Amino acid sequence: MGQGLSCRIRDDHGLFTAVQFGDLEIVETVLNRDPSLVKQTTVYDRHSALHIAAANGQIEMVSMLLENPSVNPDCLNRHKQTPLMLAAMHGKITCVEKLIQAGANILMFDSLNGRTCLHYAAYYGNSDCLQMIVSSARTSHVAVSWGFSRFVNIRDGKGATPLHLAARQRRPECVHILLDSGALVCASTGGYGLPGSTPLHLAARGGSMDCIRELLAWGADRLNRDASGRIPYAIALKHKNGACAALLNPSSAEPLVWPSPLKFISELNQDAKALLEQALMEVNREREKTILKGTGYSMPSPSHSDATATDDNISEASDSQLCCICFDQLCAIEVQDCGHQMCAQCTLALCCHNKPNPTTASLTAPICPFCRSNIARLTVVKVKVNTADQELDLYSSPKQRKSRKSQNLSEGSSSFRGLSFGKVVGRSSGRVSLDNECIDKP
């Protein structure tokens, strides 16, 4: 009873209620009557009005509060969490963007687990917020003072990087963003999970095939051992993740690995990169089918399948556009500056036939199989379809073909993950109490 009373939040002036539900008129009236209330916090968790607005996605309220010179965008609650951390936790992308524009520090650490906003976005699987934070780190003072690579691999109080958290929590989209941003695929933890665990160990423990697939494609070593001497294969068996164990078995075939050390790969434009990544995943899926064929586990269907549309386009294209290496796929990649074309899978075969060796000082650039010149740059081929007489990227990634998700304009109105104060109104109210915010346990 004592704990419940101590957690109760007094809101005699109605400010926190109005902030939670985005009632700008009431908030302005209350603050005009008593401007000092803008610095008032809740009794137990010490949440400010900006914390509540950011966590509930009330972007107009956040904007109004930030215009007040008395409001600090990096104000701390009881657990030293900033409004940016809570916005990243609850996936409020518009609030994350606004807070960063207002100068919120992305290098703040909380007192619960020593985590930053990047850890929060990765742990809760909010990939759009994660991408926003990563993009801001490239252009902010962080890149100068800390270094971008160091920020992406920042560790919490238990030695876990954002990649560790994303892999453990089954967040493949976040895993991909972090790896693409330079996260160390074989970094080991301190006290998170078991000491010495790599992201692959944690993905094996969580049983996420998509996370394991991403990590293996970026060069994760299946023979890395944790502090107890166990490889990821043993972790997957212990937690009865049989399909994951089959992929992690050291005796199974090695997957195709993304050729990240090559300079012209790192300089790819987004269309060519998405095309090659899709081709790499397709090749590895065929390998997975072979591995799982002899087991009792079936191959899961792709998360983003658009094979039918691609097949239809291929059937309408002319035979002269077929790759002259495999005579199976259409030409999708063009080598600059010689202009020779080939399919995405043959391009990958040239770039990453062997798994990159981290001990090698320099890698020899692949050569064009037609003119034997060094490959310095790759671009996407635009193929004209006979029926429409228009340019169409036949191999564009399904993610590229899908329209971007519209920003949630009603983030604050019915968010079941948002913060509120006081008692929970009901099971269907869609509000989570500020005072009952869960504390992460590995």
User: How high is the pLDDT of residue 321?
Assistant: 78
pTM: 0.76
User: How high is the pLDDT of residue 152?
Assistant: 96
Q: What is the DSSP-derived secondary structure letter of residue 409?
A: T
- pLDDT value at 179 more than 70: yes
Omega of the bond prior to 311 within 30 degrees of 0, cis?
no
Confidence of residue 370 (pLDDT cuts 50, 70, 90): confident
User: How high is the pLDDT of residue 305?
Assistant: 37
pLDDT tens track for 99-144: 999 999 999 999 999 999 999 999 999 999 999 999 999 987 887 7
Residue type, 411: E
pLDDT tens track for 264-308: 777 788 888 888 888 888 888 888 888 888 666 655 554 443 443
178's enclosing H/E stretch is helix 172-180
- Residue 9, Ramachandran bin (φ over 0: left; ψ between -120 and 50: alpha; else beta): beta
User: How high is the pLDDT of residue 323?
Assistant: 84
User: How high is the pLDDT of residue 248?
Assistant: 95
Mean pLDDT for all residues in the chain? 79
User: How high is the pLDDT of residue 358?
Assistant: 52
What are the boundaries of each domain within the chain? 1-109+413-442, 263-294+317-355+365-397
- Name which residue leads in pLDDT, 32 or 417: 32
Residue 395 Cα to chain centre, angstroms? 23
Say which CATH architecture domain 1-109+413-442 belongs to.
Alpha Horseshoe (1.25)
Say which CATH architecture domain 263-294+317-355+365-397 belongs to.
2-Layer Sandwich (3.30)
Alpha carbon distance 338, 312 (integer Å)? 30
CB 417 within 8 A of CB 430: no
- Name which residue leads in pLDDT, 414 or 30: 30
